[in-house]
Amino acid sequence: MFPELLLDMPFSTIFILLLAVTISFLTSLANRLLTDPKKAKAQKKEIAEWNAELRKAQRDKDKKQVEKLMKKQKYILQLQSKMMRQSMKVMLLFIVPIFLIWRFLGGVYTSPEGAIPIAYFPGVGSILPLLNMSSLFWWYMLCSFLFGTVFSRLFGLVSME
């Protein structure tokens, strides 16, 4: 069912890299199509400015300014809630398929002897000591973070400031 070739390095390494690239691309594309990046950036900026003003007022012990800012708190919480709902749309779209892919890959890249190596990390090997997880997890996460960042910037989901 699963090609034997993809069970051995470097093919397994390249396969997981391409899988991470594909999923990162699709997630970023869905994010771009289902959300309004300009509106999200404006909302983030407004929330950050309010938080900065509130912290400054609290640090300066300016009770009048704190009271004034607290009147806007309900609005800020609503903005944060809207932003959360927007990001949840994409997560809900991808969570089940990604879970199914991981269940499948976990079965494929596990043998009776243990985890099948996917990538070799210089100086460490194919099993990273942290939590004793296989290179399948670490290699996918590394590739996913890298390409998720690249695609997010390409699609204008994050600012390049």
Does 119 map to a domain?
yes
Does 104 map to a domain?
yes
Does 161 map to a domain?
no
Q: How many domains does the chain contain in total?
A: 1
Among 7-11, 64-68, 112-116, 154-158, the minimum mean pLDDT is found in 112-116
Give 111's strand partners.
114
Does 160 map to a domain?
no
Does 159 map to a domain?
no
69 within 8 A of 53, measured Cβ to Cβ: yes
At which residue do the structure tokens 């699963």 appear?
2
Structural domain of 38:
4-154
Q: Quick one: pLDDT band at residue 156, thresholds 50, 70, 90? A: confident
Query: In the chain, pLDDT over 70 holds for what percent of residues?
Result: 80
Does 103 map to a domain?
yes
Does 107 map to a domain?
yes
Does 26 map to a domain?
yes
pLDDT of 103 reads: 85
**pLDDT per residue as tens digits for the range 107-152:** 777 766 666 777 766 666 666 666 555 677 788 888 889 998 888 8
Q: Quick one: pLDDT band at residue 18, thresholds 50, 70, 90? A: very high
24 within 8 A of 144, measured Cβ to Cβ: yes
For the entire predicted model, the pTM comes to 0.70
59 within 8 A of 67, measured Cβ to Cβ: no
